Structure 1
Amino acid sequence: MLKAATFGVLAFSFSGVLAFPGAHSSHGHGPDVIYRDVAVIGGGSAGTYAAVRLNDINVSVVVIEKDVVLGGHADTYVDKTTGTKLNMGVADFHKISVVLSYAARLGVPMSSPGAYDYSTLYYDFDTGKTVPSFVPPTDAEVGAAFATYANILATNYSYLQAGYFLPDPVPAELLEPFGDFVNKYGIGAIMQLINQIVQNDGDIWTMPTVQLLKAVDLSLVQSALQGFLVVASGNTQDLYTSAASVLGQDVLYSSQAIKMDRHGRDGVTLTVQTANGIQAIPAKRLVVAIPPTLDVLSAFDLTDKERSTFSKFQSRGYYASVVQHSGIDPTEFYTNIGTNTPFHLQNLPGIFTIQPTGLEHQYAIYAGTLSPVSNASAQDVIVSQIETLQNAGVFPADTPEFLYFSNHCPFRFGVLRGFVRIARDE
């Protein structure tokens, strides 16, 4: 499942006057024009948080959300028979003040997650076999490695907590492959756990160290050691239902920006396709809380430098599903590992884990690909590896049936090591 950190956003800022010509109020709302102080594109975790905070300090805001609800990666599966709700997207939150105060503002109680009484079995899902050379690290080994890792972050790279604000020159260590960094400090015991936490950051041993240090920052390490937070009801969507009631008509659902003009002296003007037609939205500021891929940003009037920067981003594929299968042991937590890969991390494309849900014959299965693929292709990956495990005798054969499937693409953005230095030099 996904880990929700704090609520960072990418913001384009504009200088200019503080009022729009002819606008009687920053809350003006005509049939074809909506005037706002801030327009937020994207109603996932970051966009919703930004909108609620702006609303609370009396800044007029509008959220442009392509879906019919707020929430982004916060997906919920509801069992048709029992009505049981399972978080299949974002489930765990960092135990930090910003999360606690935000949840309190929305009136949504938070609690510690319940204990899982499962044993973990490790198989290479590509072969269906165990890996004799793999020995799971002990809790003591993981704890010691995490302590070393946290000390490195706190001592050398505390500035990463605030974002990708890199010094000049960029420390060479941040640009080296993360696998080299891990080996240098002798903290390989944390690699399996980090791989589960960041699902899916690709072949993480090859990624720039800065990307992993940012993904697994100090607040996440502290939460991993002390315990994460979850919505007490068990349904992460409660946060967004409450936020939707706070924002009311300031959310445009089933909507998408189709044109943008950032050249006016008064800020930005968006042309938005809504469920009810075309809407113009002049705003003094713009918050962008959507994936920064060129296709997603196609409506933006990007400069050549912006287009060059965003073209360097890569994304992964991440897929959450609930599969019905009568042969899988409901007391076991199956983890995919690699036979010949560094740190025995699983190969991609492939399943990360097969987890019991507490529902009869229903299992949560999370899978990843190195780049986004179609739903059908992702499901083929899952079915193929289940069949491999069946053929190897890991559990009895059955035909897997997808009761739920969610495609979280594009997912986990990053750049190659060389581009980190190039972007900083620019």
Structure 2
Amino acid sequence: MLSEAKNTVLIGLLYVDLAWAGCPDKLSSAANPKTIRRDVVVIGGGASGAYSAVRLREDYGLSVALVEKEAQLGGHVNTWVDLATGRGFDAGVQSYVDVANSSTAFFRRFGIEIGPNTRPAQQPPVYVDFATGKKLSNYILPATTDRNDALRRYLVVAESLLSVFEPGWWTFPKPDAIPQDLLLSFGDAMVKYNLTSALPQILGLTGGGIKDFMNSPLMWVMRPFGVDMARTILGLNAGFIPTSGKNQDLYDAILKLLGPDSLLSSTVVKAKRADEGVTVDVRNAETCQVTRIVAKKLLYAASPTRENLEPFSLDETERETLYKFQFTRPFVGVVSHPSLPLGTSLSNMPEEAQGGNWTAAANREFPYASGFNNFANSSFFRVIVGGDTTLTEKRAREVLLSTFDRLVAAGTINQTDPPQPLKILYFKNHYQMNAHVPTDVIRSGFFQILNSLQGRRSTWYTGSAWATPITTSLWVFTDTVLPKLVESL
């Protein structure tokens, strides 16, 4: 316990030092903070935090302050705009699922026109082993009817477990009542329910973010690829997107609405939390100004990583619970090069997967690039580099560039004469994703303890660690948290 405490102190000091990097006047600005008072301070301006701030202020009539470390709201949306044409390209979130028949209303309240999702999840693929750069000559996909039949079987299983996931972890079964299928490895579940023909589709949409996929408990696959995702692929759910083609439009409209109640480019450097209320000091990375927010309640909507949580002075129960979360870390981006083939995608597939050996693609070693997917009617390509939490932006860029070089060396694509480098036009850290905990931790009653943290020390929680990591599902879960928070005021 002593060594753990020392490490915590060291991490805390490191975080504070990094938070003040580039601010030579840190002592004076920390000593003379600007103070504001609010009913609720919301930490994190992604899907959950931005939605929460709007609802708390506009629908519940409360005063709010929304703290976001990036220079814009939106979290994983990651829309890049080509300045030459004004066209938007979504490197992160691709589309939305209309859950509970209410998701579209949130877009419409901001005047965001929406329509059916007509964008393909992936352009027609060419399968390439990115480790060698060589095309696969004998990679075989399941027949569409076989895939859909397997997806329907998967959907039946997912629907039987739906109450575990939706809305959020509120009703997660106690250790002695956890359904056996929930903790079954995905590989075993695949055999048990004859899901093999659905594996390429499930992997293509979720596998890049799950390490040791076949041995991962079924529940961690079903979180990103659950009932709503399966229904959408089978045509049973309606997917939609803004007609502008820019998912960022919603969050720009939210920012305009909230105005000065949004503190962008700001990180928490210190927080005090008690049953009587909270005090949060946040620093603006551009001005170095410290703002002290005195609030009745705190809503935490950011990823519960050690780095993010360190300034909040967690007590022993909070540390022992929240620090058990494990994550992966993808990077997303937009690239271009004259040699990349238009109207298609180069999809990363190991040579061992040829001949229908689809499980060979399930456990690729991090880090790796998942593919180069051409945005329709453009010369730009979406890229994703998946890795664990040690993956840095520098290393992720290296993975992407070295993958491109192997494609050229193998003759899969023809380099220009003279040679041109791959242009990385946009590259964003998705930060920690796919929050999960080991099976033995689940069996120890983890989720019951996690739920007990709600409201403790004037702090409430929402976000993808507490609910299905799909934007509209996060909103549904948030709608269960906000009334409890408001009642506690």
1:98-117 deviation line (CA, Å, top 9, x unaligned)? 32111112211111222549
Alignment deviations for residues 260-309 of structure 1 (CA, whole Å, 9 cap, x no partner) = 2222x422222222446222222222111111111111111212121122
Question: 1:360: Cα distance to partner?
Answer: 5.7
Other structure's SS at 1:90 match: coil
Distance 1:260 1:350, change over 3 A: same
Give % identity.
28
Structure 2 distance, partners of 1:79, 1:375, is 22
Query: Can you give the 5+ residue segments of structure 1 that lack an aligned partner in the other structure?
Result: 1-30
Q: Measure how far apart 1:371 and its partner are.
A: 3.1
In 2, are the aligned partners of 1:315 and 1:372 still within 8 Å (CA)?
no
Q: 1:78 aligns with which of 81, 88, 96?
A: 81
Find the residue that maps to 2:127 and give its secondary structure: strand
Q: 1:144 aligns with which of 146, 149, 169?
A: 149
Tell me the CA shift for residue 361 of structure 1.
4.3
Are 1:61 and 2:76 an aligned pair? Answer: no
| Alpha carbons 2:327, 2:432 under 8 Å: kept | yes
Q: Which amino acid aligns with 1:46?
A: S
Amino acid at match of 2:281: T
1:7-406 equivalence runs, <5 A: 32-55=34-57, 56-96=59-99, 97-116=101-120, 118-131=123-136, 134-164=139-169, 165-168=171-174, 169=176, 170-198=178-206, 199-226=208-235, 227-263=238-274, 265-274=275-284, 275=287, 277-340=289-352, 343-345=359-361, 347=364, 348-358=366-376, 361-398=379-416, 399-406=421-428
Contact 2:134 2:411 in 1 (8 A): no
CA RMSD of aligned residues (A): 2.3
Cα 1:425–1:58 change in 2 (3 A) is closer
Contact 1:318 1:409 in 2 (8 A): yes
- The number of equivalent residue pairs is 395
Cα distance between partner residues in 2 of 1:209 and 1:256: 35
Q: What secondary structure does 2:157 align onto?
A: helix
**Displacement after TM superposition at 1:192 (Å):** 2.0
Matches of 2:312 and 2:414, distance apart in 1: 52
Q: 1:118 to 1:300 in 2, by over 3 A?
A: closer
Amino acid at match of 1:197: L
* Amino acid across the alignment from 2:73: L
Whether the 8 Å contact between 1:178 and 1:212 is mirrored in structure 2 is yes
Q: What is the deviation of 1:245?
A: 2.0
Q: CA deviation at 1:64?
A: 0.9
Deviations along 1:136-176, one digit per CA (max 9) or x if unpaired, are: 11221221111111111222443312113321222232223
Normalising by structure 2, we get a TM-score of: 0.75
Q: Cα distance, 1:118 vs. partner?
A: 4.0
CA-CA distance at 1:86 after TM superposition: 0.8
Query: Which amino acid is the alignment partner of residue 37 of structure 2?
Result: Y
Deviating more after overlay: 414-423 vs 287-296: 414-423
Cα distance per residue 1:175-199 (max 9 Å; x no partner)? 2322221222111222222223224
Residues 177 and 207, structure 1, Cα contact 8 Å, conserved in 2: yes
Which residue identity does 1:321 align to in structure 2? Answer: G
Structure that is richer in helix per residue:
2
